[in-house]
Structure 1
Amino acid sequence: MMAKIAIILTPHFADWEYALIAGTGRPFYGLDVQFFTPAPGELQSLGGLTVRVPQGLEAMNQWAPEVVVVIGGTLWESEDAPDIGEVLRAHHARGAVVAGICGGTLALARAGMLDAIPHTSNEAEYLTLNAQEYTGAEHFCPSATAVSTDRVITAPGVAPVSFTAAIFESIGLDQNTVLQFKNMLAAEHN
């Protein structure tokens, strides 16, 4: 049975933060990757890509993915950011991994999921300034790569490779396969 990964997009989502999950997870590793949004319909990415996401969060609840991924974007920093805390907590409570990158970490912080565990984001002040509910500053790790603790994965926006690798590890993808994925994407820097 294929592992299921739900990717939550919002208007002005960050193109580079989901690309490796969907672009390699589905065709190369046989993962079932589907997209969801708090308000179904057409969305435009930060890069200008227009997508149609017909599935709302209630459909994600019925689908019951192993991993729920919140992609960053400028909406998370605004007053118009949707409150998806109940959905995130419910999926985590039933055993799913919940992951947030860049602005997506704000959704996790607002849901109280970062208050008591090691985590990261763009920077500590990013969380304290944009998520008034957040009380986990003492657990913040100033990491340039993803941090994974207790089925919660967080990453700054500059870390889509380690974020994707942590997600792949969380669903049980073979360690050699994950290492090959990391090495392939790091090859241009050697």
Structure 2
Amino acid sequence: MHTIYVYVLDTLADWELGYALAELNSRRFFKRDAPQLAIKTVSYSKKPISTMGGVEITPDCLVDDVVASKTSTLLLPGANTWNDPHHAAIVEKAGELLSAGATVCAICGATAALADFGLLDARPHTSNGPGFLTMVSPGYKGSALYRDEPSVSDGGLITASSTGALLWTKHIIECLGVFQADTLESWYEYFRTGESEHFFALMQTLPSGDGC
């Protein structure tokens, strides 16, 4: 069993998690032998949070419940509230996860939180444009490893800009190994371009009766 921990906090950017959660929860394009996944929302308290879109989410578990192992993946969405000191615990936990060989996936404002903790200083990464992390994270020392791309995957660390959610999701799915390679490529090209040929190619990669 692989556990996907989704950190939730007030003003969470709904769209940044949309592709990833929809595909990982629905399993609609999973390959036959894909590993089982458990998706759990996590926060610093059990108090409900309100996303940027006004959706209320009550966390399933607390930061201390997150298991740092190779079968854990942590999703850190963007939000306007990352400066709240309550979130320091999950950033520290992200460091533990990376050290344990787990996967940490941060997008938009969450990348700044990792930069503050020094987790981007020694690994290729991206964020909301060149200079952003230097501007918002005074202690950031990783500018030489910054990549001006929508999403960057470096082993167990997957980062993205606020507009990079689609490629970020592709990298997450690829890391988890739950799609066939041709399924993932057709899925990505269809949602990237909107061209119907990629939708039909996607359907052809699935066993008969699967898909939407």
TM-score (structure 1 length as normaliser): 0.88
Deviation of 1:63 after TM superposition, in Å, equals: 8.4
Query: RMSD between aligned alpha carbons?
Result: 2.1
Q: Is residue 13–residue 77 contact of structure 2 (8 Å, CA) maintained in 1?
A: yes
Partners of 2:7 and 2:42 within 8 A in 1: yes
Task: Provide the C-alpha distance between the structure 2 equivalents of 1:165 and 1:101, rounded to a whole number of angstroms.
Answer: 13
Q: Work out which of the residue numbers 44, 47, 59 in structure 1 matches 2:50.
A: 44
- Percentage identity across paired residues of the two chains: 25
Classify 1:62/1:95 alpha carbon distance in 2 versus 1 (closer, same or farther; 3 Å).
Answer: closer
Aligned length: 187
Q: Does 1:15 align with 2:14?
A: yes
Aligned amino acid, residue 12 of structure 1:
T
In structure 1, C-alpha distance between the alignment counterparts of 2:174 and 2:112, rounded to whole Å: 23
- Contact 1:41 1:54 survives alignment (8 Å): no
Unaligned runs of 5+ in 2: 31-35, 197-212
The 1-side partners of 2:13 and 2:53 are apart by: 7
After TM superposition, the structure 1 stretch with the greater mean CA deviation from structure 2, 25-34 or 36-45, is 25-34
Question: Which of residues 120, 124, 128 in structure 1 aligns to 2:130?
Answer: 124
The 1:58–1:65 alpha-carbon spacing in structure 2 relative to 1, beyond 3 Å, is farther
Q: Which residue of 2 aligns with 1:104?
A: 110
CA distance in 1, matches of 2:123, 2:159: 11
Larger displacement relative to structure 2 (111-120 or 94-103): 111-120
How far, CA to CA, are the matches of 2:70 and 2:5 in structure 1? 9
Q: Counterpart of 1:52 in structure 2: which amino acid?
A: T
Residues 13-34 of structure 1 show CA distances to partners (whole Å, capped at 9, x for unaligned) of 0001111111111112363222
Q: Is the 8 A contact 1:72 1:101 kept in 2?
A: yes
Structural mapping, 1:7-156, within 5 Å: 7-28=6-27, 29=30, 31-61=37-67, 65-76=71-82, 78-80=83-85, 82-83=87-88, 84-143=90-149, 145-156=150-161
Q: Does 1:186 align with 2:192?
A: yes
Instruction: Return the alpha-carbon distance in structure 1 between the equivalents of residues 91 and 81 of structure 2.
Output: 15
Question: Are the equivalent residues in 2 in contact too, given 1:119–1:141 (CA < 8 A)?
Answer: yes
Q: Which structure 1 segments of 5+ residues have no match?
A: none
| Amino acid paired to 1:170 | C
SS in structure 2 of the partner of residue 141 of structure 1: coil
- Within 2, Cα distance between the matches of 1:142 and 1:62? 30
Partners of 1:81 and 1:53 in 2: CA distance: 15
CA deviation after TM superposition for structure 1 residue 81, in Å:
6.1
